[in-house]
Amino acid sequence: MVLRSKESAGRPAGKTARPPVKERLLHVATRLFARHGFESTSVQDIVDAAGVTKGAMYHYYGSKDDLLYEVYHQVLTMQTSHLDQIAAGQGTAEERLRLAAADVVQTSLDNLDDMIVFFRSLHMLPEDKQTQVRAERRAYQEKFKALVDEGVAAGTFRSDISSDIVVHYFLSVVNQLGSWFKPDGSLSPGQVGDLFTELLIGGLAVR
């Protein structure tokens, strides 16, 4: 059987220069997971969309789950690093909390597909990876909580609402962004971030 090797490994394809196969797989997988759900997306769907075959995918990723885990790891790593930078910065606790809140909304909206997958398919991960993701997320929450606590200690924020609850409260808002935000809507990611930040700080402020 002659295999005419469609277009071989060369990537001067007619279309836009496509990123390497590994990244491409993760990207299209994220997109498909977000659109149709993890379980409704078959490995075949993914490789078709990426223009390769299963052999390629199982060469780079150990399993379909691996692909999912990468989504989580990637976005969590980025947001944690952002938060670290902001928390270590200057300004009052309120100022830094404002920055952190606006930033997490912004970056989440910039990676909407990841967020949709994130909050919807965590339970599909195998137990061990799920534990790891939860740990990473918990670490993020703790850093966020520390900022709130700082503001409480400084007397800027009200002390009668546990900071744990506040963190759950606000991060819930962030996690749900993917379920209603439309990029072509009237509000930009930045505007949404500012408004949500206002609502958060308002709720925290001593009256």
Write out the residues near a copy of itself by the rule CB under 8 A: 36-37, 39-40, 119-120, 123-124, 158, 161-162, 165-166, 168-169, 171-173, 175-177, 179-180, 187, 192, 195-196, 198-205, 207
Q: Which partner from the list DNA, a copy of itself, none does 124 bind, CB cut-off 5 to 8 Å by kind?
A: a copy of itself
**Residue 134 parent element (H or E):** helix 127-153
Tokens of 135: 């740990």
Distance CA 178, CA 182 (A): 8
Residue with smaller CB distance to DNA, 41 or 107:
41
Distance CA 30, CA 28 (A): 5
Alpha-carbon distances of 129 from 23, 48, 119, 124, 125, rounded to whole Å: 21, 26, 15, 10, 6
Q: Does 129 bind DNA (CB under 7 A)?
A: no
The correct pick among 27, 37, 48, 58 for binding DNA (CB under 7 A) is: 58
- Taking contact as CB under 7 A, which single stretch among the options 39-47, 85-93, 95-103, 110-118 is the one that binds DNA? 39-47
> How many other CB atoms are found less than 10 A from the CB of residue 203?
13
Residue with smaller CB distance to DNA, 17 or 88:
17
Question: Is residue 39 helix, strand or coil?
Answer: coil
Q: Which partner from the list a copy of itself, DNA, none does 77 bind, CB cut-off 5 to 8 Å by kind?
A: none
Distance CA 95, CA 92 (A): 5
Q: Does 53 bind DNA (CB under 7 A)?
A: yes
- Taking contact as CB under 7 A, which single stretch among the options 27-35, 59-67, 79-87, 146-154 is the one that binds DNA? 59-67
Residue with smaller CB distance to DNA, 64 or 98:
64
The correct pick among 13, 42, 134, 190 for binding DNA (CB under 7 A) is: 42
Task: Return the exposure string of 49-73: e unless at least 16 CB atoms fall within 10 Å of the residue's CB, then b.
Answer: bbbbeeebbeeebeebebbbbbbbe
Residue with smaller CB distance to a copy of itself, 78 or 124:
124
Q: Does 158 bind DNA (CB under 7 A)?
A: no
